[in-house]
Structure 1
Protein backbone atom coordinates (compact mmCIF):
# COMPACT_ATOMS: atom_id res chain seq x y z
CA UNK A 1 0.00 0.00 0.00
CA UNK A 2 1.44 3.40 -0.96
CA UNK A 3 2.13 5.64 2.00
CA UNK A 4 2.84 9.28 2.70
CA UNK A 5 6.13 9.07 4.60
CA UNK A 6 7.02 12.74 4.98
CA UNK A 7 5.41 16.17 4.55
CA UNK A 8 7.43 19.32 3.85
CA UNK A 9 6.35 22.95 3.67
CA UNK A 10 8.12 26.27 3.25
CA UNK A 11 7.35 29.91 2.53
CA UNK A 12 9.18 32.05 -0.05
CA UNK A 13 12.45 33.61 1.04
CA UNK A 14 14.99 35.86 -0.65
CA UNK A 15 18.59 34.68 -0.72
CA UNK A 16 21.90 35.88 -2.16
CA UNK A 17 23.03 39.33 -3.15
CA UNK A 18 22.86 41.39 -6.34
CA UNK A 19 26.61 42.05 -6.19
CA UNK A 20 27.66 38.39 -6.15
CA UNK A 21 30.01 37.57 -9.07
CA UNK A 22 28.85 33.95 -9.20
CA UNK A 23 25.32 33.65 -10.67
CA UNK A 24 24.62 30.88 -8.17
CA UNK A 25 25.08 33.41 -5.36
CA UNK A 26 23.02 36.25 -6.83
CA UNK A 27 19.72 37.36 -5.34
CA UNK A 28 16.73 35.10 -5.91
CA UNK A 29 13.37 34.51 -4.25
CA UNK A 30 12.14 30.96 -3.86
CA UNK A 31 9.79 28.73 -1.92
CA UNK A 32 11.90 25.70 -2.80
CA UNK A 33 13.36 25.21 0.67
CA UNK A 34 10.91 22.89 2.42
CA UNK A 35 11.14 21.64 5.99
CA UNK A 36 9.49 18.51 7.43
CA UNK A 37 6.45 18.99 9.65
CA UNK A 38 5.11 16.69 12.33
CA UNK A 39 1.47 15.97 13.04
CA UNK A 40 -1.56 17.05 11.08
CA UNK A 41 -1.33 19.69 8.34
CA UNK A 42 -4.37 21.24 6.71
CA UNK A 43 -4.56 20.67 2.95
CA UNK A 44 -6.63 23.30 1.15
CA UNK A 45 -7.52 23.60 -2.51
CA UNK A 46 -4.44 25.73 -3.17
CA UNK A 47 -1.72 24.42 -0.85
CA UNK A 48 -0.73 23.01 2.51
CA UNK A 49 -0.87 25.26 5.57
CA UNK A 50 2.52 26.94 5.93
CA UNK A 51 3.50 26.41 2.30
CA UNK A 52 3.86 28.96 -0.49
CA UNK A 53 5.39 29.65 -3.88
CA UNK A 54 7.41 32.66 -5.03
CA UNK A 55 6.61 32.41 -8.75
CA UNK A 56 2.82 32.12 -8.94
CA UNK A 57 2.87 32.23 -12.74
CA UNK A 58 4.67 28.91 -13.01
CA UNK A 59 4.05 27.31 -9.61
CA UNK A 60 1.10 26.77 -7.32
CA UNK A 61 -2.55 27.23 -8.21
CA UNK A 62 -5.41 24.76 -8.36
CA UNK A 63 -3.67 22.28 -10.68
CA UNK A 64 -0.39 22.39 -8.73
CA UNK A 65 -1.55 22.57 -5.13
CA UNK A 66 0.79 19.82 -3.90
CA UNK A 67 3.97 18.29 -5.32
CA UNK A 68 4.62 14.60 -4.66
CA UNK A 69 7.92 12.77 -5.11
CA UNK A 70 8.86 9.14 -4.73
CA UNK A 71 11.10 8.22 -1.81
CA UNK A 72 12.29 5.33 -3.96
CA UNK A 73 14.32 7.74 -6.09
CA UNK A 74 16.37 9.08 -3.19
CA UNK A 75 18.93 6.24 -2.85
CA UNK A 76 19.98 6.62 -6.50
CA UNK A 77 20.09 10.41 -6.30
CA UNK A 78 22.15 10.30 -3.10
CA UNK A 79 24.67 8.05 -4.80
CA UNK A 80 24.65 9.81 -8.17
CA UNK A 81 24.98 13.30 -6.68
CA UNK A 82 27.46 12.16 -4.01
CA UNK A 83 25.14 13.61 -1.39
CA UNK A 84 24.42 10.80 1.12
CA UNK A 85 22.46 13.13 3.41
CA UNK A 86 20.09 14.43 0.69
CA UNK A 87 16.87 14.84 2.71
CA UNK A 88 13.25 14.24 1.84
CA UNK A 89 11.99 17.50 0.41
CA UNK A 90 15.26 17.86 -1.47
CA UNK A 91 13.39 18.05 -4.77
CA UNK A 92 11.04 20.68 -3.44
CA UNK A 93 8.22 18.22 -2.85
CA UNK A 94 5.50 18.56 -0.25
CA UNK A 95 4.65 14.86 -0.14
CA UNK A 96 7.35 12.20 -0.12
CA UNK A 97 5.72 8.85 -0.85
CA UNK A 98 6.66 5.19 -0.88
CA UNK A 99 5.09 2.50 -3.02
CA UNK A 100 4.66 4.77 -6.03
CA UNK A 101 6.76 6.07 -8.89
CA UNK A 102 5.95 7.81 -12.16
CA UNK A 103 5.36 4.38 -13.72
CA UNK A 104 2.61 3.59 -11.18
CA UNK A 105 0.66 6.86 -11.09
CA UNK A 106 -1.70 8.06 -13.82
CA UNK A 107 -3.14 11.40 -14.87
CA UNK A 108 -6.57 11.73 -13.28
CA UNK A 109 -5.95 9.24 -10.47
CA UNK A 110 -7.95 10.10 -7.36
CA UNK A 111 -6.41 9.17 -4.01
CA UNK A 112 -7.69 9.32 -0.46
CA UNK A 113 -5.16 10.54 2.11
CA UNK A 114 -6.91 10.69 5.46
CA UNK A 115 -10.12 12.60 4.84
CA UNK A 116 -8.63 14.57 1.94
CA UNK A 117 -9.05 13.61 -1.72
CA UNK A 118 -6.43 14.53 -4.32
CA UNK A 119 -6.16 14.02 -8.06
CA UNK A 120 -3.06 13.76 -10.26
CA UNK A 121 -3.00 16.72 -12.65
CA UNK A 122 0.40 16.60 -14.41
CA UNK A 123 4.03 15.57 -14.09
CA UNK A 124 6.30 18.07 -12.41
CA UNK A 125 8.37 20.01 -14.95
CA UNK A 126 11.57 20.94 -13.09
CA UNK A 127 12.87 24.47 -13.48
CA UNK A 128 16.19 26.21 -12.90
CA UNK A 129 15.49 26.61 -9.18
CA UNK A 130 16.14 22.90 -8.61
CA UNK A 131 19.59 23.35 -10.12
CA UNK A 132 20.18 26.52 -8.13
CA UNK A 133 19.13 24.87 -4.86
CA UNK A 134 21.82 22.20 -5.15
CA UNK A 135 24.31 24.25 -7.21
CA UNK A 136 24.30 21.63 -9.98
CA UNK A 137 23.84 23.45 -13.29
CA UNK A 138 22.26 20.59 -15.21
CA UNK A 139 20.21 18.96 -12.44
CA UNK A 140 16.85 20.02 -13.91
CA UNK A 141 17.95 18.60 -17.27
CA UNK A 142 18.94 15.35 -15.57
CA UNK A 143 15.44 15.06 -14.10
CA UNK A 144 13.86 15.63 -17.51
CA UNK A 145 16.16 13.02 -19.04
CA UNK A 146 15.55 10.25 -16.50
CA UNK A 147 11.87 10.97 -15.86
CA UNK A 148 12.15 11.03 -12.07
CA UNK A 149 10.08 14.18 -11.99
CA UNK A 150 7.39 13.70 -9.38
CA UNK A 151 3.80 14.76 -10.01
CA UNK A 152 1.30 17.39 -8.97
CA UNK A 153 -2.02 16.97 -7.23
CA UNK A 154 -5.11 19.13 -7.38
CA UNK A 155 -7.24 18.94 -4.25
CA UNK A 156 -10.80 17.67 -4.67
CA UNK A 157 -11.64 17.56 -0.98
CA UNK A 158 -9.82 19.55 1.67
CA UNK A 159 -8.73 17.83 4.85
CA UNK A 160 -6.04 17.16 7.42
CA UNK A 161 -3.08 15.03 6.33
CA UNK A 162 -0.03 13.73 8.15
CA UNK A 163 2.96 11.49 7.57
CA UNK A 164 2.21 7.81 7.97
CA UNK A 165 -1.17 7.88 6.24
CA UNK A 166 -2.00 5.41 3.50
CA UNK A 167 -2.49 6.69 -0.05
CA UNK A 168 -5.54 4.81 -1.29
CA UNK A 169 -6.52 4.71 -4.95
CA UNK A 170 -10.20 5.60 -5.35
CA UNK A 171 -10.50 5.95 -9.14
CA UNK A 172 -8.30 5.58 -12.21
CA UNK A 173 -10.13 6.90 -15.27
CA UNK A 174 -7.07 7.02 -17.57
CA UNK A 175 -4.81 4.02 -16.88
CA UNK A 176 -3.13 4.53 -20.26
CA UNK A 177 -1.71 7.91 -19.18
CA UNK A 178 0.95 7.17 -16.63
CA UNK A 179 3.06 10.08 -15.47
CA UNK A 180 6.05 8.30 -17.01
CA UNK A 181 4.35 8.14 -20.42
CA UNK A 182 3.25 11.77 -20.22
CA UNK A 183 6.83 12.77 -19.40
CA UNK A 184 8.16 10.79 -22.35
CA UNK A 185 5.78 12.49 -24.77
CA UNK A 186 6.51 15.96 -23.41
CA UNK A 187 10.30 15.68 -23.21
CA UNK A 188 11.41 12.96 -25.62
CA UNK A 189 8.85 12.23 -28.38
CA UNK A 190 9.05 15.80 -29.60
CA UNK A 191 8.28 14.94 -33.21
CA UNK A 192 5.24 12.75 -32.47
CA UNK A 193 2.49 15.31 -32.96
CA UNK A 194 -0.23 12.66 -32.88
CA UNK A 195 0.82 11.50 -29.41
CA UNK A 196 0.99 15.10 -28.20
CA UNK A 197 -2.51 15.78 -29.48
CA UNK A 198 -3.84 12.56 -27.94
CA UNK A 199 -2.41 13.37 -24.50
CA UNK A 200 -3.72 16.95 -24.75
CA UNK A 201 -7.23 15.54 -25.12
CA UNK A 202 -7.06 13.94 -21.67
CA UNK A 203 -9.58 16.18 -19.85
CA UNK A 204 -7.98 15.72 -16.42
CA UNK A 205 -4.52 16.85 -17.56
CA UNK A 206 -3.70 20.35 -16.32
CA UNK A 207 -4.66 23.19 -18.66
CA UNK A 208 -1.03 24.33 -18.86
CA UNK A 209 0.12 20.98 -20.23
CA UNK A 210 -2.88 20.73 -22.55
CA UNK A 211 -2.02 24.09 -24.09
CA UNK A 212 1.64 23.22 -24.60
CA UNK A 213 0.81 19.89 -26.20
CA UNK A 214 -1.92 21.33 -28.41
CA UNK A 215 0.56 23.82 -29.85
CA UNK A 216 2.91 20.98 -30.69
CA UNK A 217 0.15 18.82 -32.14
CA UNK A 218 -1.32 21.55 -34.32
CA UNK A 219 -0.68 21.26 -38.08
CA UNK A 220 2.21 23.41 -39.26
Structure 2
Protein backbone atom coordinates (compact mmCIF):
# COMPACT_ATOMS: atom_id res chain seq x y z
CA UNK A 1 0.00 0.00 0.00
CA UNK A 2 1.38 3.41 -0.95
CA UNK A 3 2.32 5.60 2.00
CA UNK A 4 0.59 8.95 1.98
CA UNK A 5 0.35 11.91 4.32
CA UNK A 6 -2.59 14.25 4.74
CA UNK A 7 -1.77 17.93 5.16
CA UNK A 8 -3.85 19.51 7.90
CA UNK A 9 -2.29 22.95 7.70
CA UNK A 10 0.34 24.90 5.75
CA UNK A 11 1.99 27.54 7.90
CA UNK A 12 4.19 30.52 7.09
CA UNK A 13 5.60 33.27 9.28
CA UNK A 14 7.80 36.34 9.38
CA UNK A 15 10.73 37.12 11.65
CA UNK A 16 9.88 38.99 14.83
CA UNK A 17 11.18 39.59 18.33
CA UNK A 18 9.81 36.89 20.67
CA UNK A 19 11.72 38.11 23.71
CA UNK A 20 9.57 39.56 26.46
CA UNK A 21 9.71 43.10 27.83
CA UNK A 22 13.11 43.68 29.36
CA UNK A 23 14.47 40.42 27.96
CA UNK A 24 17.23 40.01 25.43
CA UNK A 25 15.96 40.41 21.87
CA UNK A 26 15.25 37.03 20.27
CA UNK A 27 14.46 37.15 16.56
CA UNK A 28 12.49 34.18 15.31
CA UNK A 29 9.85 33.16 12.78
CA UNK A 30 8.55 30.36 15.01
CA UNK A 31 5.11 32.00 15.12
CA UNK A 32 3.49 30.89 11.88
CA UNK A 33 -0.01 31.40 10.52
CA UNK A 34 -2.07 28.83 8.70
CA UNK A 35 -2.63 29.80 5.07
CA UNK A 36 -5.49 28.67 2.88
CA UNK A 37 -4.34 30.13 -0.44
CA UNK A 38 -5.07 27.90 -3.39
CA UNK A 39 -1.36 27.30 -3.87
CA UNK A 40 2.07 28.55 -2.80
CA UNK A 41 5.30 28.33 -4.74
CA UNK A 42 7.85 26.01 -3.15
CA UNK A 43 11.41 26.96 -4.09
CA UNK A 44 14.69 25.29 -3.17
CA UNK A 45 14.82 27.42 -0.02
CA UNK A 46 11.23 27.29 1.17
CA UNK A 47 7.60 28.22 0.85
CA UNK A 48 6.55 31.49 -0.69
CA UNK A 49 6.04 34.08 2.06
CA UNK A 50 7.86 32.15 4.79
CA UNK A 51 10.92 33.53 6.57
CA UNK A 52 13.67 32.00 8.70
CA UNK A 53 15.44 34.29 11.13
CA UNK A 54 18.28 31.91 11.97
CA UNK A 55 19.70 30.60 8.70
CA UNK A 56 22.29 28.50 10.51
CA UNK A 57 19.78 26.30 12.33
CA UNK A 58 16.70 26.81 10.16
CA UNK A 59 16.18 27.18 6.44
CA UNK A 60 18.60 26.60 3.62
CA UNK A 61 18.72 23.88 0.99
CA UNK A 62 18.49 20.94 3.42
CA UNK A 63 15.89 22.60 5.66
CA UNK A 64 13.52 24.17 3.18
CA UNK A 65 10.32 22.80 4.77
CA UNK A 66 9.75 21.88 8.41
CA UNK A 67 7.25 19.08 9.12
CA UNK A 68 5.56 18.28 12.42
CA UNK A 69 3.21 15.30 12.84
CA UNK A 70 -0.24 16.12 14.24
CA UNK A 71 -0.11 12.80 16.11
CA UNK A 72 2.18 14.33 18.76
CA UNK A 73 -0.05 17.26 19.67
CA UNK A 74 -2.28 15.22 22.00
CA UNK A 75 0.78 13.94 23.87
CA UNK A 76 2.15 17.42 24.52
CA UNK A 77 -1.22 18.77 25.61
CA UNK A 78 -1.58 15.95 28.13
CA UNK A 79 2.04 16.04 29.29
CA UNK A 80 2.27 19.81 29.74
CA UNK A 81 -1.41 20.45 30.52
CA UNK A 82 -1.87 23.24 28.00
CA UNK A 83 -3.34 23.76 24.58
CA UNK A 84 -1.07 23.69 21.55
CA UNK A 85 -2.68 25.33 18.51
CA UNK A 86 -1.71 24.16 15.02
CA UNK A 87 1.73 25.50 14.13
CA UNK A 88 2.94 25.51 17.74
CA UNK A 89 6.25 23.93 16.82
CA UNK A 90 7.06 26.41 14.08
CA UNK A 91 6.37 23.86 11.38
CA UNK A 92 5.54 24.76 7.80
CA UNK A 93 3.40 21.67 7.43
CA UNK A 94 1.26 20.00 10.07
CA UNK A 95 0.95 16.48 8.70
CA UNK A 96 -1.02 13.35 9.53
CA UNK A 97 0.18 9.88 8.63
CA UNK A 98 3.97 10.18 8.48
CA UNK A 99 5.46 10.10 11.99
CA UNK A 100 9.18 9.73 12.68
CA UNK A 101 9.21 5.93 12.95
CA UNK A 102 7.58 5.59 9.53
CA UNK A 103 9.60 8.28 7.74
CA UNK A 104 13.11 7.55 6.49
CA UNK A 105 16.08 9.68 5.57
CA UNK A 106 16.07 10.06 1.80
CA UNK A 107 12.36 9.37 1.33
CA UNK A 108 11.14 11.11 -1.82
CA UNK A 109 7.61 12.50 -1.92
CA UNK A 110 5.47 13.94 -4.65
CA UNK A 111 3.74 17.02 -3.25
CA UNK A 112 1.62 18.88 -5.77
CA UNK A 113 3.94 20.00 -8.55
CA UNK A 114 6.98 19.67 -6.30
CA UNK A 115 9.25 16.75 -5.46
CA UNK A 116 10.76 16.79 -1.97
CA UNK A 117 13.10 14.60 0.07
CA UNK A 118 13.46 13.94 3.81
CA UNK A 119 16.86 15.28 4.88
CA UNK A 120 17.15 15.25 8.69
CA UNK A 121 15.25 15.46 11.99
CA UNK A 122 14.25 18.85 13.32
CA UNK A 123 16.59 19.81 16.16
CA UNK A 124 14.67 21.42 19.04
CA UNK A 125 16.08 24.73 20.29
CA UNK A 126 15.49 27.29 23.00
CA UNK A 127 13.06 29.24 20.84
CA UNK A 128 10.37 26.58 21.07
CA UNK A 129 10.91 26.65 24.83
CA UNK A 130 10.61 30.43 24.84
CA UNK A 131 7.43 30.41 22.80
CA UNK A 132 5.66 28.04 25.18
CA UNK A 133 7.38 29.15 28.40
CA UNK A 134 8.51 25.55 28.93
CA UNK A 135 12.30 25.52 29.55
CA UNK A 136 12.50 21.71 29.45
CA UNK A 137 10.61 21.32 26.18
CA UNK A 138 13.70 20.90 23.93
CA UNK A 139 15.01 18.15 26.22
CA UNK A 140 11.59 16.48 26.32
CA UNK A 141 11.48 16.53 22.53
CA UNK A 142 14.87 14.83 22.40
CA UNK A 143 13.79 12.21 24.95
CA UNK A 144 10.54 11.36 23.20
CA UNK A 145 11.88 11.58 19.67
CA UNK A 146 8.84 13.66 18.73
CA UNK A 147 11.03 16.03 16.78
CA UNK A 148 9.48 16.47 13.38
CA UNK A 149 11.80 16.65 10.41
CA UNK A 150 12.95 18.66 7.40
CA UNK A 151 12.59 18.36 3.65
CA UNK A 152 14.85 19.48 0.83
CA UNK A 153 13.32 20.40 -2.52
CA UNK A 154 14.37 18.32 -5.53
CA UNK A 155 11.89 19.91 -7.91
CA UNK A 156 10.29 23.31 -7.39
CA UNK A 157 6.61 23.89 -8.04
CA UNK A 158 3.26 25.00 -6.69
CA UNK A 159 1.84 23.16 -3.67
CA UNK A 160 -1.27 23.48 -1.55
CA UNK A 161 -2.89 22.22 1.61
CA UNK A 162 -5.21 20.14 -0.58
CA UNK A 163 -2.34 18.10 -2.05
CA UNK A 164 -1.33 14.78 -0.53
CA UNK A 165 2.27 13.89 0.27
CA UNK A 166 2.88 10.62 -1.58
CA UNK A 167 5.96 8.47 -0.94
CA UNK A 168 7.39 7.60 -4.35
CA UNK A 169 10.84 6.26 -3.47
CA UNK A 170 12.63 5.03 -0.34
CA UNK A 171 16.38 5.59 -0.39
CA UNK A 172 17.37 4.09 2.99
CA UNK A 173 16.19 1.89 5.84
CA UNK A 174 17.13 4.53 8.43
CA UNK A 175 14.12 6.23 9.98
CA UNK A 176 14.00 9.66 11.60
CA UNK A 177 13.37 7.83 14.87
CA UNK A 178 16.64 5.91 14.48
CA UNK A 179 18.60 9.10 13.75
CA UNK A 180 17.17 10.75 16.87
CA UNK A 181 17.93 7.71 19.03
CA UNK A 182 21.53 7.46 17.82
CA UNK A 183 22.09 11.20 18.23
CA UNK A 184 20.57 11.69 21.67
CA UNK A 185 20.31 8.35 23.46
CA UNK A 186 23.08 6.21 21.98
CA UNK A 187 25.91 8.61 21.22
CA UNK A 188 28.61 6.01 21.90
CA UNK A 189 27.29 3.54 19.35
CA UNK A 190 30.07 3.93 16.79
CA UNK A 191 28.57 1.36 14.43
CA UNK A 192 25.29 3.23 14.06
CA UNK A 193 27.07 6.59 13.86
CA UNK A 194 29.17 5.19 11.03
CA UNK A 195 25.99 4.21 9.19
CA UNK A 196 24.64 7.74 9.55
CA UNK A 197 27.89 9.38 8.50
CA UNK A 198 27.87 7.33 5.31
CA UNK A 199 24.22 7.98 4.51
CA UNK A 200 24.31 10.20 1.44
CA UNK A 201 20.84 11.63 1.92
CA UNK A 202 21.41 12.75 5.54
CA UNK A 203 22.24 16.47 5.67
CA UNK A 204 25.85 17.56 6.03
CA UNK A 205 24.95 19.71 9.05
CA UNK A 206 23.59 16.70 10.93
CA UNK A 207 26.67 14.64 10.11
CA UNK A 208 28.87 17.41 11.49
CA UNK A 209 26.89 17.39 14.73
CA UNK A 210 27.56 13.66 15.10
CA UNK A 211 31.31 14.35 14.96
- TM (norm. structure 1) is 0.90
Q: In the alignment, which residue of structure 2 is the partner of 1:57?
A: 56
Moved more, 189-198 or 8-17: 8-17
Alignment check: 8 A CA contact 1:5 1:165 kept: no
Distance 1:99 1:115 in 2: 20
- Taking the aligned partners of 2:102 and 2:162, their CA distance within structure 1 comes to 20
CA RMSD of aligned residues (A): 1.3
Which runs of structure 2 are paired with 1:44-83 in the superposition (5 Å)?
44-83=43-82
User: What's the offset of the Cα at 1:2?
Assistant: 1.6
The alpha carbon displacement at 1:145 in A equals 0.4
Q: Structure 1 residue runs of 4+, over 4 Å off?
A: none
Larger-Rg structure: 1
Structure 1 gap ranges (5+):
216-220
Give the superposition deviation at 1:212: 2.3
Aligned mates of 1:200, 1:52 — CA distance in 2: 30
Could you say which residue in structure 1 is the equivalent of 2:198? Answer: 201
> Counterpart in 1 of 2:5?
2
Aligned length: 207
Query: Match for residue 98 of structure 1?
Result: 96
Q: Is 1:14 the equivalent of 2:17?
A: yes
Per the TM alignment, residue 136 of structure 1 is displaced from its structure 2 partner at its CA by: 0.4
Change in CA separation of 1:15 and 1:212 when aligned onto 2, cut-off 3 Å = closer
Who is 1:218 aligned against? none
Q: Please state how far the C-alpha of 1:27 moved relative to its aligned partner.
A: 2.0
Deviations 1:106-147 (A, max 9, x none): 000000111111000000111111100101001011000000
